[in-house]
Amino acid sequence: MAAIDKSLYERVGGKATLARVHQTLYNKIYSHPWMKLYFEQKPQHVLENQQTDFMTMLMGGPNQYAGKTPKFAHQHIVITNELFELRQQLLAESLTEENIPTTLKQEWLAADETFRRALVKNSIQDCEVAYANQEILNFKPPRAYTQSD
């Protein structure tokens, strides 16, 4: 098969590459002072595996993803453009650290960018909960805690 016909999944190196990049990404997410607040109740390895299965499907690999749609999985989280862009920055850094070639890195980031519209919210009023006592996740960026000090 000519290289041009191969899926992005194959071209980046398949499941091993996705797992490696997502381990690096979630190491950054789980140690970032603002980002980590959204993940306090969630084991890191579960998120890494869900992200890998989801991106495998999205990039044209085997479909093993059994989770929620991104819109539904994030409907209780106030994801602002600033937070979305912070995650993209951490993803871009992870792709560079894991030696993903520039053109593939751009394609990977473009695939990720397609979720902005489904995930980004203007305010807490745009959130929904799946069950009565589901917590709405809404944390100020760290500088908001220090600006008035």
- Site residues (vs ligand HEM, CB under 6 A): 38-39, 42, 50-51, 54, 67-68, 70, 73-74, 77, 79, 83-84, 87, 112, 115, 119
Closer by beta carbon to ligand HEM, 14 or else 47: 47
Closer by beta carbon to ligand HEM, 13 or else 77: 77
Closer by beta carbon to ligand HEM, 4 or else 66: 66
Closer by beta carbon to ligand HEM, 77 or else 149: 77
Minimum distance from residue 112 beta carbon to ligand HEM (Å): 5
- Using alpha carbons, select from 112, 126, 138, 147 the residue that is nearest to residue 12: 112
**Those residues with Cβ within 8 angstroms of residue 86's Cβ, 6 or more apart along the chain or in another chain:** 32, 34, 35
Minimum distance from residue 78 beta carbon to ligand HEM (Å): 9
**Those residues with Cβ within 8 angstroms of residue 6's Cβ, 6 or more apart along the chain or in another chain:** none
Question: Three-state SS for 4?
Answer: helix
Minimum distance from residue 22 beta carbon to ligand HEM (Å): 10
